[in-house]
Amino acid sequence: MGELFGTDGVRGVANRELTPLLAMQLGMAAAAVLGNGNHAPHVLVGRDTRLSGDMLEAALVAGLCSAGARVTLLGIVPTPAVAYCTRHSQVDAGAVISASHNPFEDNGIKFFSTEGRKLPDDLECHIEKLIRNWENIPRAYRDRIGNVQRDNELVERYIAHLIASADCSLKGMRVVVDGANGAAYSIAPRVLSQLGAEVVPIHCSPDGVNINAGCGSLHTESMRQTVQEQRADVGLSFDGDADRVIMSDEYGNEVDGDRIMAMSAVHLKQAGRLRNNVLVATIMSNLGLEEAMKQHGIRMERTRVGDRYVAERMRELDAVLGGEQSGHIIFAEYTTTGDGLLTALQVLALMQRTGKPLSELAGVMDKYPQIIRNVRVRDKYAWERYEQAKAVESWAIQQLGYPSRVNIRPSGTEPVVRIMLEATDRGRMEQVADELKTIVLQVCGEPED
């Protein structure tokens, strides 16, 4: 990763860190890199519902056009819709203006390659290098200046793709949809209704500032409560850009990405579709997932956190299923990136085909108690430079006993260091987590504000 790009593009507080000037510079540099100096690239641009989206879209598009790129605006759409449309159109790249699950004051910009995959690190580093001397980026003149158009038809193709992936009717199913007041607010209820489900929408009224506010995949309480009140079959909570989903069973119990991967992997193996008999997860996935996969004769590979790294490892292993505990799930038969709505449809279709409630399907794995502490720090990368980091993790594992697991790492998208512990004794985990938090703050420094 460079100085600007994290694991999921460029992020920061809108108009303070991620300014219109930086967005314009990103557009100019991206156009230069994507065009490779020999043609005018065509770029699709989508965004979520944040108040700053209009401002940053205008700046990004200005930069792209200034360097000669043609731009097609998709409007407010899920991030995976941009990835799909980019892959299935004659374009050079896609760009998304979103900060995913972050609060409304944050925003971000990330790019997809012509294959609908997140740009590789080397291209992002090249873009960063050009930004350092952005005034030297070649500008288009006269009739070579880029233009802008809007296209709603591309998103309709994505919707048709989602419906086709379900390949069954959801008639008779009552589904609570928490749109996080984000990119899924309209498209998720529409797709589910078209498939025959009875939809109970909540948090589907964006106003620019309520995205992810007490709702969505990080705040599933209201969704789970509504499932119980409405006696629904299932609940879905998306994040701000709808590339992840957390579910609820009929009793209001949370079903996270690990459980979604577990039931999906077992189903795909039984159907003879789990290519190479492998599931790709991350270092944050629960030990219970690993044990469940062993019980079903499925190999589980772990990679670093970030769906871009899950996708890369999946390609290396020719795997069809991978994801993260947070709800980023990649079904490679249908998509190149995490897609919350597509993931939800695969699970709903599995429920319909088997006639089993989600509580029964999710019971395929037993979770170990897990604690995750997000420690806000001044310099999150100081932990990676800390020579005793591995020794600290080893000490923590000794304190927890067997079986246990500890991981301490800087977030790729926020100014925090994440501490993750798994063991059988929750009380002891709480004690060790407190001690680790103290060590992290000593190494990385207290936050300035």
Within 8 A by CB and 6+ apart from 72, the residues are 42, 43, 44, 45, 91, 148, 149, 150, 151, 154
Instruction: Name the 3-class secondary structure at 19.
Output: coil
Task: Give the tokens for residue 398.
Answer: 């000794």
Size of the chain in residues: 449
What is the dihedral sign for C-alpha 184, 327, 85, 79? positive
Task: Give the tokens for residue 92.
Answer: 């050079």
Which among 345, 25, 366 has a CA at the least distance from the CA of 184? Answer: 345
Is residue 100 annotated as part of the catalytic site, yes or no? Answer: yes
Burial (CB count within 10 angstroms: exposed 0-12, middle 13-18, buried 19+), residue 385: exposed
What is the dihedral sign for C-alpha 222, 98, 1, 441? negative
Instruction: Name the 3-class secondary structure at 117.
Output: coil
Instruction: Name the 3-class secondary structure at 365.
Output: coil
Containing 107, the helix (H) or strand (E) segment is: strand 106-112
Dist. CA 419–CA 437, nearest whole Å: 8
DSSP state of 205: -
Dist. CA 82–CA 428, nearest whole Å: 45
Cis geometry, peptide bond prior to residue 206 (ω within 30 degrees of 0)? no
Task: Give the tokens for residue 228.
Answer: 């119980």
Catalytic: which of 100, 165, 237, 411?
A: 100
Catalytic residue set? 100
